[in-house]
Amino acid sequence: MSKWWVLTVMLWLGGCAVRPSAPPPLQLLSMAGAPHETGVLKQKVTLQKTRAVHFISVLRFDRQGLQGVILLPTGQTVLNYRYAEQLQTTPAHPQLPVQDMLALLQFALWPATALQAYPEANAGWRLQLSETQRQLFWYEQPVLRVRYEHEQIDIDNYQKGYSLHVENLGS
């Protein structure tokens, strides 16, 4: 009987060791899956971690790529970036998680069909999508939650411990 118990415990521990404990980094999605319309998004963004950081984001996108600028509320440029299947930033800003923020915005703005890239890339990802909310799970552990309300988007990044509040400022 004790041999079966030891074998059961070993199999259980072996199964636990196969599953990665931390999710892989959020992926930047292909521009091929981008929204069909082209346009400009002007947004007031609040990054909340240990303290709130406010900035303005201006994003211009089409099917070939997107480019954006992040400004302080005073109008001073913090960062310029381009993405056409590869992220380029000038200057590199160590305190702004630009790749994560872009991946979050893509997760919030890209059509639901484009988000299938997550479970296709790794079986540990699971999506839960509705009209007012999107969630991303890693082996049933919540990683992201995006909520839509009027002209606002709230994004919780549980993995990194911060949230974004995004308000559209019009075209």
Q: pLDDT digits over 111-149, tens only?
A: 998 898 888 888 889 999 999 999 999 999 999 999 999
Q: Is 115 helix (H, G, I), strand (E, B) or coil?
A: helix
Look at residue 92 and tell me whether its pLDDT is greater than 80.
no
Reported as a single tens digit per residue, the pLDDT across 7-46 is 444 444 444 545 667 888 888 888 888 887 788 889 999 9
Domain segments of the chain: what residues? 28-168
DSSP alpha helix (H) spans, the chain: 2-18, 98-109, 117-121
Structure-model confidence comparison of residues 13 and 49, the more confident one: 49
Q: Is the overall model pTM greater than 0.85, yes or no?
A: no
Q: Please state which architecture CATH assigns to domain 28-168.
A: Clam (2.50)
Helix (H, G, I), strand (E, B) or coil at 9: helix
Distances in whole angstroms, Cα of residue 114 to Cα of each of 119, 132, 146: 11, 17, 15
Token pair for 142: 């919540």
pLDDT: is 136 or 2 the higher one? Answer: 136
